[in-house]
Amino acid sequence: MYWTRGIKQLVIFAMQKIPSFCRARIQLTIAISAALLCAPVSAQDKTIVNFCIPNSTVYPFFLNDQALNGINHDVVTAAFEQPSLVNFELRFVKRPWKRCNMELKSGGIDMIVGGYEKSRDDVGVYPNELGFDNSDMVFSTADVCFVTMPGEQKQKTLAGMQGEGDFNVGVVAGFSQDHKPDISPNWVVIYNHLEKYRLLEKGRVDAIAQVCSMDKQPIATKAETSGFQNFETLQPPYLSNPAYIIYSESFVKRHADDAKLILQEVQKVNKSAIYNKYRSVSE
């Protein structure tokens, strides 16, 4: 205590000996330094994170209708609103889904959300490559059901689910085509998400693939809220597909610690509250 008091007195004495105009400059310099230390982070100082998303609606993950939303959008946005990520600026980059994968590999974008595929091992960086267990860093798990119509379509789908023949299934471009090895769906890729329902209604496909719950929490399939009648969701789900944040290698090389932090913040998001918003979704 005595030595700090002595230093303080010495500083006061020294300041008194400095000419007034010099003291003013010193005080101004101290004030400016303090202001800079306390100033909020500007947009120019933030680390930009480019998140590539499909440029078309892929329900329930992304809804490119009047305003961008959807489960993936909502979860990532909530994570980047945390105080620990105040130095980051999240930007959504709309691309055809195949191009998202291409730009992830080239480093043109920084991250996507997708399921695990061996073909992506050489494209991006999964959580396990950052020292985590993938099972601890699941972004979300989509439970996927076949939705069909009563009659011949339903019978053919049920038989196909038992491995007793193939059946035609409508799926939106970019949607997972994974399935159990003992069934043989013929995938009919559709680029307009509403066309999927029309094809089922007209009998041109036997079923459509549709997310029916997220992390076991039921959500609306949108068929029942889009004006289509007599659609039946067949339980249980034929596929549970976990998704992860996948980074570009260039982003990880530049921001390895930041990439880990983002993964951890995503796990803190109240996803149940977000899923609840999609229990009944109108077109």
- pLDDT-based confidence at 156, cuts 50/70/90? very high
- Cut 0.85: pTM above it: no
Q: Is residue 116 part of a domain?
A: yes
Gap between the terminal Cα atoms of the chain: 70
- CATH code of the domain in which 116 resides: 3.40.190.10
Has residue 9 got a pLDDT over 90? no
Q: Kindly state the average pLDDT of the residues 247-271.
A: 97
Has residue 280 got a pLDDT over 90? no
What are the pLDDT digits (tens) for 139-152? 999 999 999 999 99
Q: Is residue 251 part of a domain?
A: yes
Same domain, 92 and 180: no
Look-up of token digits 């009563």:
150
Q: Is residue 197 part of a domain?
A: yes
* pLDDT of 50: 98
In the chain the beta strands, taken as DSSP E runs, fall at 47-54, 63-64, 68-69, 88-95, 111-115, 140-148, 166-172, 184-190, 207-214, 217-218, 232-247
* pLDDT of 2: 41
Has residue 218 got a pLDDT over 60? yes
pLDDT above 70 coverage of the chain, percent: 81
Q: Is residue 16 part of a domain?
A: no
Same domain, 207 and 82: no
Mean pLDDT of the chain: 84
- pLDDT-based confidence at 42, cuts 50/70/90? low
Same domain, 88 and 119: yes
Amino acid at 126: Y
Question: 186 versus 58: which is more confidently predicted?
Answer: 186
Q: Is residue 187 part of a domain?
A: yes
Has residue 174 got a pLDDT over 70? yes
Domain hosting 217: range is 142-240
pLDDT above 90 coverage of the chain, percent: 61
Q: Hey, which of 37-41, 192-196, 269-273 has the most confident mean pLDDT?
A: 269-273
Same domain, 126 and 266: yes
Q: Is residue 8 part of a domain?
A: no
Same domain, 136 and 247: yes
Q: Kindly state the average pLDDT of the residues 260-280.
A: 94
**Cα 139–Cα 279–Cα 214 angle in degrees, nearest 5:** 25
> What domain count does the chain have?
2
Cis status of the peptide bond prior to 236, with omega within 30 of 0: yes
* pLDDT of 37: 43
Instruction: Give Cα 11 to chain centroid, integer Å.
Output: 55
